[in-house]
Structure 1
Amino acid sequence: MSYLMRTSRLFIWFFLTGLSVTLVLGSGFYLYLRPGLPAAEQLFDIKLQTPLRIFSQDGKLIAEFGEKRRTPVTIEQVPERQLQAFLAAEDSRFYEHFGVDIKGLARAALELASTGHIQSGGSTITMQVAKNYFLSRDRTFIRKFNEILLALQIERELDKNTILELYLNKIYLGNRAYGIAAASQVYYNKPVSDLTLAQMAMLAGLPKAPSAFNPLANPSRALARRNWILGRMKELEMISQDDYEQAVNAELTATYNATETEVDADYVAEMARAEMVRRFGDNAYTDGYSVTLTVDSVKQQTATEALRHGLEAYDRRHGFRGAVGTIDIESLDANELATALRSYPRTGLLIPAVVLKTDDKNGTATLHARVLGPVTMTLDTMTWAQRYRTENLTGPTPKKPSDVLSPGDVVYVKALNNAAPQAADDGRAQPLTDVVQNVALYQVPRVEGALIALTAETGAIEALGGGYSFGQSKYNRAIQAKRQPGSTFKPFLYLNALESGFTPATLINDSPIVLEEKGQEIAWRPQNSSGQFYGPTRLREALYRSRNLVSIRLLRDLGIQPMLDYLKQLKVPTADMPSNLSLALGSGLLSPMELARGMAVIANGGYDVEPFLIRRIEDAQGTAVFNAPDVILCDSDCGNAVEIEKTGLQDTDNNGDTNDDFIVTELSDEPLESVVQAQARRMPRLADERSVYMLHSMMRDVIKLGTGRRANALNRDDLAGKTGTTNEQIDTWFAGFNYQQAVIAWVGFDQPAPLGRNEFGASTALPIWIDYMKVALDQTPSAQMPRPNGIVNVRINADTGKRARPGEEGVFELFREEDEPEVISAEDRGGLGTGDTDDISRQLF
């Protein structure tokens, strides 16, 4: 036997031995690891971590919550060239191999042998799917072997397009973007279908190293990676030479694009987020729920803007408090100024800016504003900036810019077009050589407020504002603040009186009263806001003129405890109500939401109301897991009313009770996940409809003749309401409605303090209410409560409240049929008597 023959046999023996050992070891690894490998079918059951999305009732995005931004897509929704770009970058033989690319593994093995490290890994797209869905990212042999086994298993059970779709929806592409659709929005703010070839190649370069090849963090490396992928696509004949040259020469266009919300409703979004977390725990952030709220996008945006405008208007009336800080402008260039300004947060539409110079001769100031860059401001936008001294006192009107500003001052400004800036707030600045935009001087208000609009019949929240800026303060005053309602409490008192036999024509004496209580050294001497007294006054006039002394005497006649019992009947919280006559003037405590709910009961004719925010919840597949129950109003037959669980925010102020916490929705006792359509909520009558109808008429006079006259600017005949101002102007309100909606506005300081001697509900809260209602009521017909049976109109003497004699001047008044004033007898027609006084002394004194 020749030497060559013996050598060949020896090599064959070594090869077979090696092959056998490899097969034995591989089989051993397989038998050891196979029981712990998941089934490929589990890929169909895996939920991609998709953020929680909150929408208005008309489908506008309000907010998105969740660490990972992801929008799953089907492979049919991804352009072919985008698929080719990923294949060229990651796995050009994807449609040819069986899940494992032997060439790629061999290349990885050579890299390991030559460098001591695994560099490329040799992973196919199928192996990446196995790793991303089932395995850790540890670079170990065991993990790699598991990856190979899973890839083979996945290829046996799933088709190639399904595998590629799973890959495109799972991969991390930097900047919190998971999946191709999310990345397209993050980097280019458009759907995948609208990307250019250069942009497609840029995204395809990200999976290898999302940080290293990120076009925002490392543009040069990202450009090189993009061009390499384009070269691979040309080499693989996926694109033509012309396509390649055009794409390679394209500029980088990637910018960071945060999720663009379509409605400014942060307080509403937080309420919905809290309720979803209460129901689903942390899964709310990852399971892809879509929540449709009751708010209307136009009304909500209007509410946000009306509240901000009203608070700014109050703030400007009380003067300029000065710069919020200073910057040494002499030692900083444009970019350094922009960086320094980032220490001052943007608040709503207000943008921090540093004063560069003032020009008294031309009446202008030049500033450098965060985001906007160089801007100019004219004197006419600064004339309001009288120096603040106290809430009741300001300095003289500025005559020149230097009376207000000095170089280096940091102040807040607003673009004159009143639009939020769209430029990226990345610290980069425009050159100081060119002034690009005009702005007006503003300041962030210290005063706060709330606005709530409810559908009167159902309690659905149409709009809600919980403060000037959620970014400045997360405290939601609409549902968390407990404040004195002042005279907006009086409608509940007058409704009780009407149900107790009083009429709008009943006379009560508006005269001084002194009340002494045990333990009080100083007697209580309540007064009207004018400081004057007006004698016998009809209840109608007393309400629209907001006469305090009449309300106190009326409560004394009704009784304090009966009044508290009546509030309970109306489901107005009484835990923070006093048990004394100051109750008549609204000295108790209610949150704006509680007051809005009470006003909705009056607005809808006397039926119960439960405010709710969530209309519908859908899971990631679009299947409804909750629909808000329908609301049915019932007068007597409410026997089929469903017992429902009141679900709301959990003791948000840590005061030991949840009475003051907003009820987000009402559901049955079953878990939300199993409730698709709750039974209808039957809402019973809480107040007599004839009494409510008369109160509507009286409260319309508040707007026609009384303290709410500013609302006549809306030119509506269906509006009713009540102003409210507490002692020392600490809390100011306007609560108004028509038959379809109830809207309240509140203005005050978070830490109770006087707003100023000339500030009342009519000057602070009512303008906010009007600005909102101007839009909310646009193109809507008049909506007044239908007149119930048993109501009559009688012409009365305005001074006596009795039926007017023939030929005597009088006014028409509403009465229940049984309370209709007696017809004047023939004997009395020529005399001066007033008829039966019915204990007139009690009414007058």
Structure 2
Amino acid sequence: MRLPRNYTIRGRRLAALRFLHRLFDVMVLAAILALIALFYMCEYGRFTVHRHPDILILPESSVIAASDGTPLREIPLPGSGYRLTAKLQEMPELLIKTIIAVEDRRFYDHDGLDYKGILRAVVNNSARMRLSEGGSSITQQLARNLYLNRDRTLFRKLNEAAIAVAMEKRLSKNEILELYLNEIYMGRGEYGVKSAAERYFGVSELRRLEIWQIAILAGIPKGPSVYNPVDNAKRSLDRRRLVLGVMRRDGLITDSEMREAARRKYEPPGEAESGPSAVSYMEASLREASRVTGISANELRTGGYLIETAMNKGAQSALEKAFSRKELFPPDGKSSKAEAAMVIMNHHNGEIVAMMGGRSPREGDLNRAVLDARQPGSAFKPIIVYGPALESGRFTPDSVLPDRPYAYGSYRPENINNAYAGKLTMSAALRKSANAPAVWLLRQTGLAYARQFASKLGIELTDEDNNLSIALGGLHKGVSPLKMAQAYSVFASGGNYREAYTVRRITDRHGILLYEHVPAASRVISTRTVGEMTAMLRTVVQEGTGIKARMNRPVAGKTGTTELDLPGTDRKANRDIWFVGYTPEWTAAVWMGFDRTDRDNYMTTGSGAAAALFARVMEPALRQARR
């Protein structure tokens, strides 16, 4: 049956009306969704940037420098790599314009979003049916790198756009550009154009970059792992040609400059002369820097600080070279390696010129040079026995002391091998390292007076140390090589106490001085005591237990040994062996032993090994320091 013509027309009109109603509903819904998205973008971006202002302060690798100002180490950023920042004014205009031309030509014209670039990316992505292009502006790239991950999702892109718009409202274009050029990853663990220029060209001053180098740098952000010149020379060369074409197209360079830059052959910079690793020294310097500034160690590592130390590169190199020679150390135990530590100090100003906290120290390892955990044995006698006795005025190096077995209540000190002379002068007792005269002399001088004397040399003893066994270096807590060197430095310096230190000065990333060590000396013992003690300690090296420390110059010092005294072990087995001594220039302390001494791991040699190491280090160290 045929419907009336007017009925058909009405049906079509009703269908069209329904379609229009639905279209209107869709448009309203789309408008609402668009408003919601716009509101989300505004609020999310503003909230994110406002809530995390610290993110806009880029972490920067701090630098630790030696006493001559040369960098020892650029500290890596946690979990990433290295970054050195530069102000926009430090960068050549050609570098800035080239990166803008390659990465975001309309950077100064948009508000964070390059709509033409986004439209182009949408068209290309639609044609390829996948997210292959992002159309991200420099601001968006910075937003993603600072706040987001690299997931290729629409939601991440929405967040990226929101943050980019918020950043444009908060920061100027130049501030955004400076952040970008310092933040961008440039391959091989380098962040920012300054780090990349140093890594790839050996150029530390950005304004010295040449056109061909600028072209290489500007081409890297597109693909840091494939376009850096070290990992892929051919692809980097192809990318350089493309960037040079962009530079010529935009009138940044001339034809002749483009051809000349294209001809230049890339050669990686020569490896810097290998200097000392100085792991223990740098760890100690960071701890000291944190203590004197109140800045956390983590912030000191990532805040772009310059920490200038007192480390003498020649001395440190000599120390590390000696520590690498196995024949200079006692035999290893059955299950552990024989360890050692050494500190060299300039007693004229308190500077620690070299330090090793172990034979093969690595970052984070135990630093045995600064750990108060070892018994000093007879090396403690000048500090707690003979120094106080001389300072009291009651005794001289020629004073005669009894050398025979004697019991002090339940304490019965014995000489090595139970050999006694009956009587010895103070000088002879020190030279022979006899125990009986030392304990007798400490009792005569008095524990309180002796402990007070030791404190003047920087060694504070505990109440548990208030007994005569400290005459032989039997301490409750123990001491470190650093503290032993500090104490002997008072004898070496004419009776003046100077606090040992590693850090000379600290400046922040802007070059502002935050800390500078001001050397201070205070006289704590008399010159008479110093002269007499030094004369006695020289005889120890010339004729006594420290003979292996002899050098081609005056040396004063004392050995120290602590016995193992474990059932079932050799009576001559030792826990710790020491030598602490000084030349006219420097004071040093050497310790050798095992981290955990037991029946399977103990010293089978005497303190002569420590004395010999002292000489093997100090002779070349002093020779190199004088160059």
The interval holding the TM-score normalised by the smaller chain is 0.7 to 0.9
1:121-149: CA deviations, max 9, x gaps? Answer: 22333444455556665653533542563
Aligned partners of 2:122, 2:256: CA distance in 1, in Å? 37
Identify the structure with the greater helix proportion. Answer: 2
- Amino acid of the residue matched to residue 183 of structure 1? A
Where does residue 313 of structure 1 map in the other structure? 328
Aligned partners of 2:400, 2:592: CA distance in 1, in Å? 33
- Amino acid of the residue matched to residue 58 of structure 1? D
Where does residue 280 of structure 1 map in the other structure? 295
Aligned partners of 1:24, 1:578: CA distance in 2, in Å? 80
User: Any idea what SS the aligned residue of 1:714 has?
Assistant: coil
Where does residue 388 of structure 2 map in the other structure? 496
- 1:56 and 2:63 matched: no
What is the Cα deviation at residue 772 of structure 1?
5.7
User: Any idea what SS the aligned residue of 1:713 has?
Assistant: coil
1:204-256: CA deviations, max 9, x gaps? Answer: 22222334545555666545434433343344454455655565566665699
- 1:541 and 2:555 matched: no
Where does residue 208 of structure 1 map in the other structure? 222
Where does residue 180 of structure 1 map in the other structure? 193
Where does residue 508 of structure 1 map in the other structure? 401
Aligned partners of 1:189, 1:485: CA distance in 2, in Å? 48
Q: 2:319 aligns with which of 303, 307, 316?
A: 303
**Closer/same/farther in 2, CA of residues 547 and 202 from structure 1, 3 Å limit:** same
What is the Cα deviation at residue 189 of structure 1?
4.0
Q: 1:289 aligns with which of 288, 292, 305?
A: 305
Task: Return the structure number with greater relative CO, CA threshold 8 A, min gap 6.
Answer: 2
1:20-64: CA deviations, max 9, x gaps? Answer: 999999888666644665599999993221122222333222333
- Amino acid of the residue matched to residue 615 of structure 2? P
What is the Cα deviation at residue 621 of structure 1?
1.4
User: Any idea what SS the aligned residue of 2:120 has?
Assistant: helix
**Closer/same/farther in 2, CA of residues 240 and 561 from structure 1, 3 Å limit:** closer
The 8 Å contact of residues 487 and 723 in structure 1, kept in 2 or not, is answered as yes
What is the Cα deviation at residue 179 of structure 1?
0.6
The 8 Å contact of residues 198 and 250 in structure 1, kept in 2 or not, is answered as yes
**Closer/same/farther in 2, CA of residues 22 and 95 from structure 1, 3 Å limit:** farther
Aligned partners of 1:232, 1:552: CA distance in 2, in Å? 85
**Closer/same/farther in 2, CA of residues 568 and 150 from structure 1, 3 Å limit:** closer
- Amino acid of the residue matched to residue 722 of structure 1? K
Where does residue 766 of structure 1 map in the other structure? 614
What is the Cα deviation at residue 506 of structure 1?
0.9
1:352-375: CA deviations, max 9, x gaps? Answer: xxxxxxxxxxxxxxxxxxxxxxxx
1:456-512: CA deviations, max 9, x gaps? Answer: 3654323222122213981211112622222211212111222341122211244x4
Aligned partners of 1:28, 1:516: CA distance in 2, in Å? 89
- 1:225 and 2:239 matched: yes
The 8 Å contact of residues 557 and 579 in structure 2, kept in 1 or not, is answered as yes
Aligned partners of 1:534, 1:244: CA distance in 2, in Å? 90
- Amino acid of the residue matched to residue 501 of structure 2? F
- Amino acid of the residue matched to residue 498 of structure 1? L
Where does residue 737 of structure 1 map in the other structure? 582
Where does residue 47 of structure 1 map in the other structure? 57
Q: 2:102 aligns with which of 84, 89, 92?
A: 89
Where does residue 552 of structure 2 map in the other structure? 714
**Closer/same/farther in 2, CA of residues 135 and 755 from structure 1, 3 Å limit:** closer
Aligned partners of 1:144, 1:579: CA distance in 2, in Å? 68
The count of aligned residue pairs is 574
- Amino acid of the residue matched to residue 229 of structure 1? V
Where does residue 625 of structure 1 map in the other structure? 514
Aligned partners of 1:749, 1:152: CA distance in 2, in Å? 60
- Amino acid of the residue matched to residue 622 of structure 1? G
**Closer/same/farther in 2, CA of residues 77 and 152 from structure 1, 3 Å limit:** closer
**Closer/same/farther in 2, CA of residues 759 and 538 from structure 1, 3 Å limit:** closer
Aligned partners of 1:774, 1:561: CA distance in 2, in Å? 38
Q: Normalization by structure 1: what TM-score? A: 0.58
**Closer/same/farther in 2, CA of residues 705 and 251 from structure 1, 3 Å limit:** same
The 8 Å contact of residues 540 and 546 in structure 2, kept in 1 or not, is answered as yes
The 8 Å contact of residues 723 and 761 in structure 1, kept in 2 or not, is answered as no
Q: Normalization by structure 2: what TM-score? A: 0.76
Aligned-residue identity in percent: 29
Where does residue 481 of structure 2 map in the other structure? 592
Q: 1:746 aligns with which of 591, 595, 620?
A: 591
Mapping 1:386-401, distance limit 5 Å: none
User: Any idea what SS the aligned residue of 1:479 has?
Assistant: coil
User: Any idea what SS the aligned residue of 1:108 has?
Assistant: helix
What is the Cα deviation at residue 277 of structure 1?
6.2
Mapping 1:445-594, distance limit 5 Å: 446-456=337-347, 459-471=350-362, 474-480=365-371, 482-492=373-383, 493-500=385-392, 501-510=394-403, 512-513=404-405, 515=407, 518=410, 526-528=414-416, 533-558=420-445, 563-564=450-451, 566-568=453-455, 570-575=457-462, 581-588=468-475, 589-594=478-483
Aligned partners of 2:121, 2:363: CA distance in 1, in Å? 53
- 1:601 and 2:601 matched: no
Aligned partners of 1:146, 1:691: CA distance in 2, in Å? 75
User: Any idea what SS the aligned residue of 2:281 has?
Assistant: helix
1:607-649: CA deviations, max 9, x gaps? Answer: 5554333332222212223333542526xxxxxxxxxxxxxxx
The 8 Å contact of residues 127 and 151 in structure 1, kept in 2 or not, is answered as no
User: Any idea what SS the aligned residue of 2:396 has?
Assistant: coil
- Amino acid of the residue matched to residue 484 of structure 1? Q
For the aligned residue pairs, the C-alpha RMSD in angstroms reads: 4.4
Aligned partners of 1:50, 1:777: CA distance in 2, in Å? 32
Aligned partners of 2:338, 2:306: CA distance in 1, in Å? 35
Aligned partners of 2:458, 2:89: CA distance in 1, in Å? 55
Aligned partners of 1:123, 1:611: CA distance in 2, in Å? 54
Where does residue 790 of structure 1 map in the other structure? none
The 8 Å contact of residues 295 and 462 in structure 1, kept in 2 or not, is answered as yes
The 8 Å contact of residues 60 and 303 in structure 2, kept in 1 or not, is answered as yes
**Closer/same/farther in 2, CA of residues 254 and 118 from structure 1, 3 Å limit:** farther
1:784-839: CA deviations, max 9, x gaps? Answer: xxxxxxxxxxxxxxxxxxxxxxxxxxxxxxxxxxxxxxxxxxxxxxxxxxxxxxxx
The 8 Å contact of residues 61 and 261 in structure 1, kept in 2 or not, is answered as no
Moved more, 134-143 or 541-550: 134-143
**Closer/same/farther in 2, CA of residues 629 and 277 from structure 1, 3 Å limit:** closer
**Closer/same/farther in 2, CA of residues 60 and 472 from structure 1, 3 Å limit:** closer
The 8 Å contact of residues 724 and 760 in structure 1, kept in 2 or not, is answered as no
The 8 Å contact of residues 64 and 307 in structure 2, kept in 1 or not, is answered as yes
Q: Which runs of 5+ in 2 are unaligned?
A: 1-25, 564-571
**Closer/same/farther in 2, CA of residues 630 and 763 from structure 1, 3 Å limit:** closer
